[in-house]
Chain A
Amino acid sequence: MIRARHGLMLLAPLALVLTGFFLLPVLMMLPTSFREYVPGVGLAPGVWTLENYVRIVTDDYYREVIWRTLGLGSFVTLACLLLGYPLAYLIARGPERWRVPLILLVVFPMLLNLVVRSFGWIALLANRGLVNNLLIQLGLIATPLKLMFNLTGLMIGLTHIYLPFMVLMLVAAIRNVPRDVEAAAATLGSSRMHVFASVTLPLSAPGILAGSILVFVLTISALVTPRMLGGPTYKVMATLIYDEYMQLLDWPSGSALSFALTFMAIGVIWLSSRLTRSWAGMA
């Protein structure tokens, strides 16, 4: 064993960097969230208030944005689960020689720049985009469908962006289900559907939960895709924070919203770890 002094020396650089450039900045935002912002002036001197937090739960517009963010998170998570499970199942249980190429095709879009992927969806979904163009040429519609700057566009784009994370989590979970158990159920006369519903699905539940939490948290935190596909008017929490800081310069309100978003993300993660622990207790 190396001594504690050496261990401390090895850990110190990273611990100092994270304290100085992560922990302190976040903590210093806390007092700001209790200040009052006066347009054109900045922070009102000597005034401390809970107003910024009260507004988040009482103001109609803020509440609409928060519900929209949570709804989007749930929709996207569900869509990723439904689209991701068959793919994950094929990767985990399909032909061995397909495995690596399929994983690489899942990872490639994930590694690709977020702005590039979002730009691709703009080219597809815009009024003069590929999808509308095609539908008009085929004579299916006369005027372009509104696919951007609304819930539809954000849902499609965010599902595409976070689907790879879900697939990779599900692949790991399905591979952890012992094949013997599935084979045993099949030998005992279960249909393929029944084996899936009674063995594979319940045994991969921890992975389903982990993937869902990951996608949900990533979705409610997302800034780039909602801004590019939602434009400046159709807002979610992250883009609202962006505007409070960059356009309105209302830092107190922005920091209160930041803590609200952080609280939601950490709350969901905490809840899921409680749930996982109680499942482990049952087994």
Chain B
Amino acid sequence: MSAAENDTGPGLAVTMAALTVIVFLQVPVVVVVLAAFSTTSYLTIPPQGVTLAWFGKVLGDPVYLSAIRMSLILACGSTLISLVIGSAAAYALFRKALPGAEAITSFLMAPLILPAVVIGVALLQYYSLSGLRGSLVGLLMAHVVITVPYVVRSALASLSGIDLAVEEAARVLGASGFEAFRLVTLPLIRPGLVAGALFAFITSLDNVPVTIFLIGANQTTLPVLIFSSVEMGVDPSVAAVSTLLILATGIVLLIAERRAGFHRFV
């Protein structure tokens, strides 16, 4: 057995190639972090000097702070709404309470298939005509549209592993419909919902192609701000704020892995 496994396992060449690709994947991340601590506006090898000044500049800049605040409001708000209406819809589909479940599921997943820039320009015209352009509600709903498929998908995936009989048993023992869901089904699908919410949050926090068409004055989000300041020219404070994002993403990923075994959901 072990001999056969050795014969079919990855050889040295494959392992080396794979590890090179892993390094390639981390290179831009490392470069951004190094640039954030560098005294020169362009990163050099060896680095010219080490400074924390760019972090100070970012954390003292009201434009950056307001963009960070806006991004967090949108990400938290849209994740919460998506989590509630997305898992409710997934539950209805799972209980087969509706005809045409397959068609409905495709409709719920459609925002993932359409290019994001198309959703952005469609909403731009729609909001301009309806007066929603520049409103927080409009932005929030746009983010719900792009995040909710992730919640629906992971809710459906974790529901599919559940035996309906367990919930029915709770009903027989006297629990109401909602109690049976809350006490039996919900704890079982919680890891899946956490993963779905995390994907939703990151998707919202990451989004430029929809947001950039819809924001009004003082509504710039962090990625849109980075995106437009790079057009103006490279500034190390972009590297500093990016490093803060890298740090936050890394911490969230490690927590999600420890608490919910995140790698099983990707």
Residues of chain A whose beta carbon lies under 8 Å from any beta carbon of chain B: 1-4, 6-8, 10-11, 13-15, 17-18, 20-22, 24-26, 28-29, 32, 83-84, 86-87, 89-91, 93-94, 100, 102-109, 111-124, 126, 128-130, 133-134, 137, 160, 163-164, 168, 179, 182-183, 185-187, 192, 195, 200, 217, 220-221, 223-224, 227-228, 232, 238, 241-242, 245-246, 251, 254-255, 258-259, 261-262, 265-266, 269
Is A11 touching B93 in the complex (CB atoms < 8 A)?
Answer: yes
**Chain A hits for B116, CB < 8 A:** 221, 223
B contact residues around A137 at 8 Å (CB): 45
Contact of A25 (CB < 8 Å), options: B99, B107, B123:
B123
Name the prevailing secondary structure of the A interface residues.
Answer: helix
Given the contacts A25-B125, A90-B15, A120 and B22 also touching, CB distance less than 8 Å: no
Chain B residues near A (Cβ < 8 Å): 1, 4-5, 7-11, 14-15, 17-19, 21-22, 24-29, 31-32, 35, 42-45, 84-86, 88-89, 91-93, 95-99, 104, 107-108, 110-111, 113-119, 121-126, 129, 141-142, 144-145, 148, 152, 177, 202, 205-206, 208-209, 212-213, 222-223, 226-227, 230-231, 234, 238-239, 242, 245-246, 249-250, 252-253, 257, 262-263, 266
A128 to chain B, nearest CB (A): 5
B9, B21, B110, B119: which contacts A163 (Cβ < 8 A)?
Answer: B21
CA distance A232 to B239 in the complex (A): 22
**In the complex, chain A residues whose CB is within 8 Å of the CB of B99:** 4
Q: Which of B21, B96, B239 is close to A84, meaning CB atoms less than 8 Å apart? A: B21
Are A221 and B115 in contact, CB atoms less than 8 angstroms apart? yes
Q: Are A119 and B226 in contact (CB under 8 A)?
A: yes
Contacts of B44 on A, CB cut-off 8 Å?
130, 133
Partner of B98, one of A7, A109, A128, A220: A7
Complex contact A86–B17 (CB within 8 A): yes
Q: Are A242 and B117 in contact (CB under 8 A)?
A: yes
- In-complex Cβ contact of A17 among B29, B148, B226, B262 (8 A): B148
List 11 contacting pairs A-B, 8 Å CB cutoff, sorted by A.
A6-B92, A8-B97, A11-B92, A20-B141, A103-B263, A109-B26, A114-B223, A120-B242, A183-B4, A242-B212, A245-B124
Whole-angstrom CA separation of A21 from B15 in the bound complex? 47
CB nearest neighbor in A for B140: A21
Q: Is the CB of A11 within 8 A of B234?
A: no
Contacts of A129 in B (CB 8 A): 42-43
Are B27 and A7 in contact, with the CB atoms below 8 A? no
Cβ of B92 and Cβ of A7 under 8 Å apart?
yes
Bound Cα distance from A220 to B116, whole angstroms: 11
Nearest-Cβ distance from residue A241 to partner chain B, whole angstroms: 6
Whether B31 pairs with A130 at a CB distance below 8 angstroms is yes
| Assembly CA distance A148 to B78 (angstroms) | 35
